[in-house]
């Protein structure tokens, strides 16, 4: 524990800590949604967070770049303390991708412009360079041929893949996925999960809130089980499935396995 608290974040390489969350608390009115959550993500790792709804998983993700302001606790991205004073939040956010449950593509922009807008307006890249990157990322998610389509002209799965391309284009250090397939018809989840599995294999650092057990088994280095605003248990997916420490973990994993099966 002491060694882990050591804040030598200048380390690079596979052991580099990309994200560190320490004792995070968040309260909405009377209800405490997060009651002291701590975890670390190293470069190239994929962590999947599961847990019953209303457990604070989405709140946790939003607190990481302070889209939701945490009440207490500290967050580091690399050696930048996100919760520190005077931190340039827009810069922090530009380095962390966020993929939403409802995609949240910009309705008035084509797929290409959705992917390009952050490069143009946030990173201030010249137009041709931004366009090149955007086209490459659309190709990456298999949607180069939909560059000129508006979100309303795309299926849910396609929209989510554009959203992933939009996140990738910013060359993030980390991508946060908030239930990326929950709003999709079952036959469309596969195409999104395939993209995500490929990303994990390519070495992208990812934190994924999802009940897709198949994805967790295929891509997660670690599974985090959250309930009631705390992390109950975390470890490699196999270990959590085979020999969980707590009966509550076993019970929950059994339930979602029955619901979401072994797809993906």
Partner 1 sequence: MFLQATLINLGLLAGLIILGLVVGIPIALLQVYGVRPLRWLASAWEGFFRGVPALVLLFLFFFGPAQFGVQLSAFTAAILALGFRSSGYQSQIFRGAIQSIPRGQMLAARSMGMSRLQAIRYVVLPQALRLAIPAWSNEFSSVIKDTTLAYAIGVNEVLRQVRYIADRYYELAMPAYLTVALIFLVLTYGGNWLLGRLERRWALPGFPMRGAEERIERGREIAAEAAR
- Residues forming contacts to partner 1 in the complex (CB under 8 A) are 65, 67, 90-98, 100, 102, 104-108, 117-118, 121-122, 149-153, 166-167, 170
Q: Cβ of residue 14: shortest distance to partner 1, in angstroms?
A: 27
Q: Cβ of residue 52: shortest distance to partner 1, in angstroms?
A: 23
- 131, two tokens: 């366009």
Q: How far apart are CA 37 and CA 100, in angstroms?
A: 21
For residue 240, give Cα distances in angstroms to 99, 149, 221, 225, 252: 26, 42, 12, 9, 11
Q: In the complex with partner 1, which residue's Cβ is closer, 11 or 121?
A: 121
Q: In the complex with partner 1, which residue's Cβ is closer, 109 or 197?
A: 109
Question: Are the beta carbons of 100 and 91 closer than 8 angstroms?
Answer: no
Q: In the complex with partner 1, which residue's Cβ is closer, 92 or 196?
A: 92
Q: Cβ of residue 240: shortest distance to partner 1, in angstroms?
A: 29
CB atoms within 10 A of CB 241: 18
Q: Smallest Cα–Cα separation from 207: which of 19, 27, 55, 35?
A: 19
**What values do phi and psi take at 203, rounded to 5?**
100, 15
Q: In the complex with partner 1, which residue's Cβ is closer, 163 or 253?
A: 163
Instruction: Provide the pairing of β-strand 31-42 with 174-178.
Output: unpaired
DSSP string, 185-244: -HHHHHHHHHHHHHHHHHT--EEEE---HHHHHHH-SEEEEEETTEEEEEE-HHHHHHS-
Q: Cβ of residue 184: shortest distance to partner 1, in angstroms?
A: 16
Q: Cβ of residue 236: shortest distance to partner 1, in angstroms?
A: 29
Q: In the complex with partner 1, which residue's Cβ is closer, 161 or 249?
A: 161
Q: In the complex with partner 1, which residue's Cβ is closer, 71 or 122?
A: 122
Instruction: Provide the pairing of β-strand 17-28 with 31-42.
Output: antiparallel
**What values do phi and psi take at 142, rounded to 5?**
75, 25
Q: In the complex with partner 1, which residue's Cβ is closer, 43 or 93?
A: 93
Q: Cβ of residue 107: shortest distance to partner 1, in angstroms?
A: 5
Q: Cβ of residue 111: shortest distance to partner 1, in angstroms?
A: 12
């Amino acid at each position: 524990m002491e060694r882990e608290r050591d804040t030598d974040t200048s380390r690079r390489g596979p052991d580099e800590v990309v994200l560190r969350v320490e004792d995070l608390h968040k309260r909405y009115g009377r209800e405490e949604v997060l009651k002291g959550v701590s975890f670390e993500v190293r470069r190239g790792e994929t962590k999947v967070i599961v847990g019953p709804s209303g457990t604070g998983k989405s709140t946790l993700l939003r607190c990481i770049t302070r889209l939701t302001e945490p009440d207490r606790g500290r967050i580091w991205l690399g050696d930048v303390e996100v919760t520190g004073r005077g931190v340039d939040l827009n810069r922090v956010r530009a380095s962390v991708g966020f993929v939403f449950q409802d995609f949240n593509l910009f309705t008035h922009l084509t797929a290409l412009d959705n992917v390009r807008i952050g490069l143009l307006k946030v990173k201030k890249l010249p137009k041709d360079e931004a366009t090149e990157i955007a086209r490459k990322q659309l190709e990456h998610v298999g949607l180069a041929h939909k560059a000129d389509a508006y979100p309303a002209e795309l299926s849910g799965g396609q929209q989510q893949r554009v959203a992933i391309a939009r996140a990738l284009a910013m060359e993030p250090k980390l991508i946060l996925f908030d239930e990326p397939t929950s709003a999709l018809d079952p036959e469309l989840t596969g195409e999104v999960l395939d993209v995500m599995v490929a990303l994990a294999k390519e070495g992208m650092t990812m934190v994924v809130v999802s009940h897709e057990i198949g994805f967790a088994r295929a891509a997660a280095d670690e599974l985090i089980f959250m309930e009631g605003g705390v992390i109950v248990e975390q470890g490699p997916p196999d270990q959590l499935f085979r020999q969980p420490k707590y009966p509550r973990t076993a019970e929950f994993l059994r339930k979602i396995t029955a619901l979401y099966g072994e797809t993906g």
